[in-house]
Structure 1
Amino acid sequence: MFKKLFSPQKINVCEIPNRLAVTAMVTNYCSEDGTATDRYIAYHEAKAKGGWGLIITEDYAINKNAMGYKYIAGLWNDEQIESHKKLTDTIHKYESKIFCQIYHAGRQSCSAVNGGMQPVAPSAIPCPWLRELPREITIPEIEQIVQDFGDCALRAKKAGFDGVEVHAAHGYLLAEFMSTYANKRTDKYGGCLDNRVRIIKEVYESVRSKVGKDFPVTIRFSAYEGFEGGRDMAESRVLAKLFEKWGFDALHVSNGAYGDHNDGGIVAPMYYPHAFGVDNAAEIKKIVNIPVFTVNRINDPRMAESILELDKADFIGMGRGSLADPDLPNKASTEDLTSIRYCIGCLQGCTGSLYVGGPITCLVNPSLGKEWELDYSKVDEPKSVLIVGGGPGGLEAARTAAIKGHKVSLYEKRSFLGGQFRSAAYPPCKGELSTYIAWITNELNKLGVKVYLNSEVTNELVDEKNPDVIIIATGGAPLMPPIKGIDKPHVISAEDALLGNTATGDKIVIAGGGEVGGETAAHLAMQQKDVSVVEMCPSLFRELDGVNKYNIMKILDEYGVKKYTETKVVEILDEGVVVENSRGKFTISADTVVIGLGYRPNNKLAEELKESHDNVVVIAGAVKTSNALAATREGFDAGISIK
């Protein structure tokens, strides 16, 4: 099935055992001084064990002021080499090769994370996300940075890396110089294309002079930048030819730059099509004779194989796919595809955590970042574990407890598993969420977990079963506030509307413009219904990150959803909803009213059991309503910690 995918390919003299690459992703797992931690090393080792042909590490800062995040790696002094040599020695126990990505964050940084220095950039234009005004870099400073790139590459070679990747993509410093949307200079580093790429040529020459001709040096660049005035493919084809002429050994064709309104999709959410950047890589591949990498929303090995068969690229980058399942290559090589834990494109853990300065996590893989401390060995004395609730938290608790060898039974009062995560897959572009529930259900079956559907747990059942451990994962119940008329028959919950438990009319008012209400609005609007959203806050989707919010708002606008913000639902009538805002009271016509105001903890059973049992663990939405990212993490921790 995968003749191309598992064939070797050389970059310079370095032979990569297969075409699957872990592309660089910030983890924030390193020390503040740029040295590698045991956590960072174990995270990469899991991928080497999993069979990835090439691992490209995250941005290694070339100097102490080049960092875009506080806890990323660095090789700006010789003292850092030893810890990263431990990393490469670990990876080389396996067949994988490892390249070091080297970079300067430029304006996509801030003084809080880069040693207290004001960010520098080709021109004094702030990053749309970070918005700290950068200082226009001077020519002597450029010359020093060129030297720093070469010195950093040499340290990478001394640390045992198999190659280096120069990061000139995603709006970081080198990318800023290449693009007229960020570079407004009129000296020898600005203006015409040759001036704008001058720094890239100088960096390449500096790196090559330090590492020698037989050491792989590749470059990552954004073929399409996704901003007004940014680079398009016409110029990127020219760049590709130049990069090959200068001597780069491979081209890593990516997209985008920082900013909520960027449609280049650096880290593409579920609203983007799969493999949307492949055609750009294919264009580049037609005109160069060195290997080409492609990336972006490629999460299935069959998808990767087809790209190779069409000769659109030589290597397939699956960054987020490797987070979701570091064992994806090994599973693909044995054609065990249903056991692959596929990335669902939610961005909650991989980028959402970085927004607040934390280390990355993963909704579908709650073991991510814990590899160095986990012990999956079987317990000596298995316990009987009773789990109440078949949502993501309960399912993860069941899976990990069973892995440890415990005897696990899971009870779900409804006829299906997944909890609210099942209905979460119904809004537009979120269908892949269901792949996680399907995957974990399959895993529970393989592990011998006894699952009881349509089974409500009572005190009597618990007393009868007499388990050693009780895990309560009952999640939340829809929040139904005391609005006058809320008990009318045409008033339904968002979950019932999504699952199709109740038919809706053609004129719908949704109370609540957060993630629950807003996404339900998008779902119903795509059925060409007249939808209005009423929200008390100044804006919709207050819980979402900017990228996901931007994309879901486009759907609401496309389908003409009417939005009433800073507006309160006062009363529900038979044929409409009375609302109130700064304009006063008025009525919005409706034949169906959907309540999408979120959830409250469903903890009645937990409180009852805790009164008579001392072995009760309560997790996730039964404690505090949150999201599936928190639920899977808490479920995993609860299951793995049972002794």
Structure 2
Amino acid sequence: MNFSKSLSPIKIGAVELKNRYIVPAMGSHLGEPDGQVSQRTIDYYVARAKGGYGLIVTEFTCVDPVGMALPGQLGIWDDSFIEGHKRLTQEVHKNGGVIFSQLHHAGRLSYSMVTGTQPVAPSSIASPVNKEIPRELSTEEVYQLIEKYVNAAVRAKEAGYDGVELHGAHQYMIAQFMSPYSNKRLDEFGGHFHNRMRFPTEIVKGIKEKCGKDFPVSVRISAEESEHDSWGVRQARKAAKMLEEAGADVISVSIGGAYGTTYKTLAPQALPPGFNASNSAFIKEVLNIPVIITGRIVDPYVAEDIISSGSADLVSLGRPSLADPEFPNKVKENRIDEIIPCVACLQRCSEAGGRDEWDTGVSCTYNPFTGKEGIMKFNPPEVKKKIAIIGAGPAGLETAWVAAKRGHSVTVFDKANVPGGQIALGARPPYKQELLKAVQTYMRLGKKYGVTYNFGVEANLETVKDFDEVVLATGGEPICPPFDGIEEAGAVQAIDVLAGKVVPGDRVIIIGGGQVGAETGEMLANQNRRVTIVEMKDAIAEEEHQDVRFLLIERLKKYGVNMLTKTKVKALSKDSVVVEREGAEERLSGFDTIVLAVGVKSYNPLEEIMKEAGKKTHVIGDANKPGDITDAIYAGAKLGLSI
């Protein structure tokens, strides 16, 4: 396919971009605790400049300490921040990048525990997120806040930014003024639509006056914000037109708010790629300036279609830019199958804790180098070795291509006939199919760097006798709990159901409502089976990201899946399960199949054998300690760099 539209240049105001791929504002959380730009911040953005993105927009940068959303958020509210931002812009420019600073104030979405003071807002209406009652800004304070945005833009220009973006989406301060849901004012900043738009349009006019007409201003807005709000795409279209008339050079169309519709802002796999494009097309109809679109644009084919169809002029590759900072270069060089994919899992890019002292700030499950660009480097080894990796699951595949890229000779063995391990099975339920992209990419990268793959081979000591070091990435095996009657019941493992080794009956009970149990339940319900899920904990699939989980639970309800939480299994029989609920025993009966999904334990039969034979051996992933896929891939990357 020809990607000529995506790779073509375009102007935003007086600034020309080399292509239509945008790194939108996303919190990197890599700055210093006091909000200053850190070296890790610079490394992160420079990697994306090198990767060929047409425009980079920094994470939200606060114009007033009262408006901070998070501790350590980047600041630009006084001149002390200019020097750090200047270092950032200089490095981005050296590497061929164009960079805007996104100006932000959280308004009622700030927290007093972060700022040390009561949040401020257009009106004293609590946010459903933090539930704090904000203090309503006086009319004079509103004008002062407009000046704070304008002065922040002046600092951004002095620091070398090529333009600025106003964060008017996701129910932050500018959006709070625009929305009738959060703006109940009776002065010139409230009531009528044109009054509610006065706050953002005055900011745009002020920036143009002080920074010059050739200094571009982008405004990010949401096409939809909240299920509880009257703000929708038609209001967004009117707002975009008024912002253009005020002097805005580009409109960036996002979607979702800070509540109710966050699953659209951080869209999981359940939302189709490019789902927001119809909104951007509707808004673009009335504009003469370019439009940027956001909304799960995860591969170059969707991006090209959106631009070619006229739905938008530029595409935001948010999480895809986390997954692969080289996305544009790989498209340009026709290396599509080498793009590390964003599979919209939300497991590490959003609200996920790090795994060690290196792994802080933003990162990606499938590309753990993100956020650690200056720390995790592909340095050649002192001695090139022959490395045997046993297991072609996520940990083994990651270790293989990373070690091979550094210069080692790597061979992978797996007793299965296909790669992927748990990823391959995890892709079986609905809305999980994109996980397979990661397997294919790791295989492609491995082959590029010379990895040899041997499938259908159950490796042993003899198999690896000629290798210098051995990596055991043999994964885990499902736990079989010691329930009374488990043999009589003929219980089967969820992993065998997912693999198609077991065909369940029409009435199925799943013991264990974690991620595996819940997703197996959805797959079976999707096949018109009647499903009951039993879980000891308070919630089903509680380890999932909240937005992934929200949509999963909604689908399970739609299918009529019976979800029993706070329910402990006591015993099994051929067609029934005895459980304890609210202190009383109860028999659940009438089931054709009982499925177990109670977790995994390490499967590692070779470690002692290898060590007794004197082989230098590394054990990673579930073979070392059961964890999630993020743990496995990160461990593989670290081992691949250090071996």
Q: Which interval holds the TM-score relative to the shorter structure? A: over 0.9
Give CA-to-partner distance per residue, 1:228-258, whole Å, 9 cap, x none: 2241122112111111111111111111111
When normalised by structure 1's length, the TM-score is 0.95
Paired residues in the alignment total 638
The 2-side partners of 1:24 and 1:151 are apart by 20
1:107 aligned counterpart, secondary structure: helix
The alpha-carbon deviation at position 49 of structure 1 amounts to 1.1
Letter in 1 for 2:44: Y
Deviations 1:121-176 (A, max 9, x none): 22344444444443333334323221110111011101111100011001111111
- Check whether the contact 2:219–2:248 (CA below 8 A) recurs between aligned residues: yes
Give the conservation status (yes or no) of the 8 Å contact 1:17–1:95: no
Q: Hey, what's the Cα distance between the residues in 2 that align with 1:130 and 1:98?
A: 32
Change beyond 3 A, Cα 1:372–1:604: same
Do the aligned partners of residues 494 and 238 (structure 1) sit closer, same or farther apart at CA in structure 2, a change above 3 Å counting? same
Contact 2:165 2:217 in 1 (8 A): yes
- Check conservation: 2:508, 2:529, Cα contact below 8 A: yes
Separation in structure 2 between the aligned mates of residue 405 and residue 269 of structure 1, nearest angstrom: 36
Q: Cα–Cα, structure 1 residues 26 and 337, in superposed 2: closer, same or farther, change >3 Å?
A: same
Specify the code of the residue in structure 1 equivalent to 2:452: K
> 2:60·2:74 contact (CA, 8 Å) conserved in 1?
yes
Out of 368, 378, 381, the position equivalent to 1:379 is 381
Q: Structure 1 residues 122, 588: closer, same or farther in 2, change over 3 A?
A: farther
State the AA in 2 paired with 1:99. F
| Alpha-carbon spacing, 1:640–1:129, altered in 2? closer, same or farther (3 Å) | farther
SS at match of 1:594: strand
**Distance of 1:237 and 1:25 partners within structure 2:** 24
Deviation at 1:382, TM superposition (A): 0.2
Q: Quick check: 1:389–1:473 contact (8 Å CA) kept in 2?
A: yes
State the TM-score, normalized to the length of structure 2: 0.95
SS, match of residue 550 in structure 1: helix
For residue 31 of structure 1, what is the aligned residue in structure 2? 32
Aligned in 2, Cα 1:77/1:611: closer, same or farther, shift over 3 Å? farther
Are 1:145 and 2:149 counterparts?
Answer: no
CA distance in structure 2 between the partners assigned to 1:286 and 1:364 by the alignment = 37
| 1:225-374 map, 5 Å | 225-259=225-259, 261-262=260-261, 265-353=264-352, 359-374=361-376
Alpha-carbon RMSD across the aligned residues, in angstroms, is 2.0
Q: Are the counterparts in 2 of residues 225 and 264 from structure 1 also a CA contact under 8 Å?
A: no
Letter in 1 for 2:600: Y
**CA spacing shift, 1:365–1:156, aligned 2, 3 Å:** same
Letter in 2 for 1:483: F
Q: Report which stretch shifted further, 352-361 or 510-519.
A: 352-361
Deviation at 1:488, TM superposition (A): 4.5
Gaps of 5+ in 1: none
Supply the AA of the counterpart residue of 2:196.
Answer: R
Query: SS at 1:265's partner residue?
Result: helix
1:600 to partner: Cα distance = 1.8
Which digits, 9 at most, give the CA deviation of each residue in 1:408-455, with x for residues without a partner? 122222222111111111111111011000111121122221222233
| Aligned counterpart, 2:595 | 594
Q: Is the 8 A contact 1:17 1:96 kept in 2?
A: no
Number of the residue aligned with 1:626? 627
Indicate the residue corresponding to 1:475 in structure 2.
Answer: 475
Identity %: 39
C-alpha change, 1:67 and 1:606, in structure 2 (3 Å) is farther
Query: Is 1:543 matched with 2:543?
Result: yes
SS of residue in 1 equivalent to 2:207: helix
Alpha-carbon distance in structure 2 between the residues aligned to 1:106 and 1:612: 64
Q: Which runs of 5 or more residues in structure 2 are unaligned?
A: none
1:306-362 per-residue CA deviation (whole Å, 9 max, x = no partner) reads: 111111111111111111111111111122211122211111111132799951110
Q: Is the 8 A contact 2:491 2:593 kept in 1?
A: yes
Q: Distance in 2 between matches of 1:615 and 1:152?
A: 56
Preserved CA contact (<8 Å) 2:123 2:136: yes
2:606 alignment partner, SS class: helix
2:185 alignment partner in structure 1: 185
SS at match of 1:452: strand
Where does residue 423 of structure 1 map in the other structure?
A: 425
- Is 2-11 or 371-380 further displaced after alignment? 371-380
Corresponding residue for 1:224? Answer: 224
How far apart in 1 are the matches of 2:581 and 2:506?
Answer: 25
Q: Distance in 2 between matches of 1:55 and 1:194?
A: 31
Deviates more, 1:93-102 or 1:428-437: 93-102
Work out which of the residue numbers 388, 391, 400 in structure 2 matches 1:389.
391
- Asked whether the equivalents of residues 150 and 209 of structure 1 are also in contact (C-alpha less than 8 Å), the reply is no
- Secondary structure at 1:470 match in 2: strand
Q: Judging changes above 3 Å, is the alpha-carbon distance between structure 1 residues 355 and 428 closer, same or farther for their aligned structure 2 residues?
A: farther
Q: Does structure 1 residue 202 correspond to structure 2 residue 202?
A: yes
- Say whether the 8 Å CA contact 2:489–2:594 is kept in structure 1: no
Q: Which residue of 2 aligns with 1:409?
A: 411
Give 1:119-130 correspondences, 5 Å limit: 119-130=119-130
